[in-house]
Amino acid sequence: MRKDIVTGEMFPKKQLVRIVKDKEDNISIDPTGKANGRGAYIGLDVEIAKTAAKKRTFDKVFGIKVADAFYDELVAYVDHQQARKELFGDE
């Protein structure tokens, strides 16, 4: 179980997406959940991703300015994963 940093709810790790900040302050989506760096999780829900973008959650969590393009990429990624889950069910 991991905590969604947007909602504060606990979810199984498979229902979350990990965002990681590396030593060079690069922010990226970590689909494997194993990338080196500091990680934070959000639920695989488009509304949660949009809320994270609106509130600039990762700017606060990681203490750096995160590009708007990252938030757009995050919303698109979560939307895609959510659609896959609805089509194929739990893998």
Residues 6+ apart with CB under 8 A from 79: 46, 49
When divided into structural domains, the chain yields a total of: 1
Domain assignment of residue 79, given as a range = 2-88
* pLDDT tens profile 10-24: 999 999 999 999 999
pLDDT at 80 over 60: yes
Phi/psi at 7 (5° precision): -95, -20
Bridge partner list, 20: 28, 39
| CATH number (domain holding residue 43) | 3.30.1230.10
What pLDDT is attached to residue 86? Answer: 87
* pLDDT tens profile 28-74: 999 999 999 999 999 999 999 999 999 999 999 999 999 999 999 99
